[in-house]
Structure 1
Amino acid sequence: MAAYQNRNSQYATGSNEKRGQRTRSSEGTVSTTMSSSSGRESAATHVTEAPTYSKKIVVVGDGGCGKTCLLISYSQGYFPEKYVPTVFENYITYPTHPPTGKTVELALWDTAGQEEYDRLRPLSYPETDLIFVCFAIDCPNSLDNWYPEVLHFCPYTPLILVGLKSDLRHKKSCIDMLKTQGLTPVTAEQGMAVAKKMGAQYMECSSKEMRGVDEIFEQAIMTVVANDRRNMETPTALAASAGDGKTQAPVGSLENLGMLIISAPAAEGSTPSRVDLFLGVESGLQMRVWTRTWMRIPKL
């Protein structure tokens, strides 16, 4: 697994004005203040009813690439100037889904990118709804280190490739340092090209300047909720199709109906990047169980 990683990231810190701290629940401790901009509440303070959705996001990336600062900036509302832990504590926050206003229980899992944590990191992957694959814009070598590991452990999980430290892209000292190594900061075009190969979305942010941080998490919430809704709608659509006489099967056995529908949406003339699989089982007792998953088609 160490072969996946080449960690050589420089990080420059500076002062930043604090915003209102977001409310969060973390390992039994609760912050009781809430950012007016976030709209998120902790379970121990204001949440009075069960959230509509419960989702888990895992954050991976090279050690020092800025992923922990991303999580601290998002949860606390300011960039950490002094001490930054190697691994940010896992915590649960309660943002809202913008289109519907429904509450989402969002569990954020930070991971350590150092090689010595290679055996522990896979414990974070089960039941993950979305993964942030992070890299530092000032460290080109960190751009594509993590896709092999993520593909191995979470081949069907949606990805967002996140470019961190975007404030360093045009910083002279960063440009000069990379120039001595024959390198340049990662461009947005390069990031989007890698994301396309991964079948991932692409976004950038600067935690230091608090620019683009909220947008990344808002997009993540939109993605995981959209996937959840598609999973819920699939059984209804397929059952309606069967009710119209398009799919018929004898009744009486425990598993008498197996249905596999393959959908590969893509622009005309292009190669699909993923295949949607819908599996359904219906019993003679009118018990119906449906599941949906998808697989990413690797680029040839």
Structure 2
Amino acid sequence: MDTIKTVKVVVVGESGAGKTALLTSFLENSFETDPLTTIGIDFKHKIVQLNDGQSIRLQLWDTAGQERFRQLTPAYIRSAKVALLVIDLSDDNCVENLVRWKGIIDKNKSDFTATIIVGNKCDLVNEKRSPRLINIIKETKDEYIETSAKTRKNIKELFSMVACRPFPEHKTSQIVLCMF
């Protein structure tokens, strides 16, 4: 019997970016129009079965985006395999928020932490993105995906990106066509 591999995922971003809504959409297939604000850190997990039969436990650490809780976030980033940097595409300050949170992640991550930038609330904006946002995302060389927790657009795809990364300590380092 194979042991279940565990992947620690930390979810960071501004308050109101939709971090908790993304996790709720993934874990419970639901969307709350008025969710409670995360206080400090919230932890959830889900075991997903990959196409190759391997099981992965996603440890999902939902961080509070408010300024008063930001001092907690670096410790969770340090030991994470994946950092999901969630930005609210409908927020006029999303570029500044992306730059700020990317700096926090880069300052605190380990050499083995992957960053995925998540442009959330894509259902609330038109298809066109500002050239500044596009350039910054390209400059980071991080993976990028647009999601909507409300409509569930790309939720499964986002967490497939996370679960199917080739983590060096896992037996299978290459997974082809990973969708759970």
TM over 0.5: yes
CA distance in 1, matches of 2:17, 2:27: 18
Alignment-mate amino acid for residue 153 of structure 2: R
| Local SS of the residue matching 1:135 | strand
| Local SS of the residue matching 1:150 | helix
CA gap 1:83/1:202 in 2 versus in 1, 3 angstroms: closer
| Local SS of the residue matching 1:133 | strand
Is the aligned partner of 1:131 residue 2:83?
A: yes
Larger Rg over CA atoms = 1
CA distance in 1, matches of 2:59, 2:132: 30
CA distance in 2, matches of 1:110, 1:215: 19
Query: Larger relative CO (CA 8 A, sep 6+): 1 or 2?
Result: 2
1:228 to 152, 168, 172: 168
Tell me how far 1:158 sits from its aligned partner.
0.9
Alignment-mate amino acid for residue 162 of structure 1: V
| Percent identical | 25
Alignment-mate amino acid for residue 120 of structure 2: L
CA distance in 2, matches of 1:232, 1:213: 24
Contact 2:90 2:125 in 1 (8 A): yes
**Match for residue 187 of structure 1?**
129
**Match for residue 159 of structure 2?**
217
**Match for residue 15 of structure 2?**
63
CA distance in 2, matches of 1:190, 1:213: 25
**Match for residue 176 of structure 2?**
none
Alignment-mate amino acid for residue 161 of structure 2: Q
| Local SS of the residue matching 1:118 | helix
Q: Scaled by the length of structure 2, what TM-score is found?
A: 0.82
| Local SS of the residue matching 1:161 | strand
Contact 1:159 1:199 in 2 (8 A): no
CA gap 1:188/1:222 in 2 versus in 1, 3 angstroms: farther
Contact 1:140 1:186 in 2 (8 A): no
**Match for residue 262 of structure 1?**
none
Question: Residues 126-275 of structure 1: matches in 2 within 5 Å?
Answer: 126-143=78-95, 144=98, 145-154=100-109, 156=111, 157-170=113-126, 187=129, 191-223=133-165, 226-228=166-168
CA distance in 2, matches of 1:231, 1:96: 15
| Local SS of the residue matching 1:125 | helix
CA distance in 2, matches of 1:197, 1:73: 29
Is the aligned partner of 1:121 residue 2:73?
A: yes
CA distance in 2, matches of 1:111, 1:216: 18
CA distance in 2, matches of 1:188, 1:215: 24
Question: Residues 261-300 of structure 1: matches in 2 within 5 Å?
Answer: none
**Match for residue 84 of structure 1?**
36
Contact 1:55 1:106 in 2 (8 A): yes
**Match for residue 244 of structure 1?**
none
Tell me how far 1:155 sits from its aligned partner.
5.2
Alignment-mate amino acid for residue 79 of structure 1: F
Alignment-mate amino acid for residue 83 of structure 1: P
Contact 2:6 2:58 in 1 (8 A): yes
Q: In terms of mean alpha carbon deviation, does 159-168 or 87-96 score higher?
A: 87-96
Tell me how far 1:141 sits from its aligned partner.
1.5
| Local SS of the residue matching 1:72 | helix
List alignment gaps of at least 5 residues for structure 2: 174-180
Contact 2:79 2:110 in 1 (8 A): no
Question: How much is the aligned-residue C-alpha RMSD, in angstroms?
Answer: 2.6
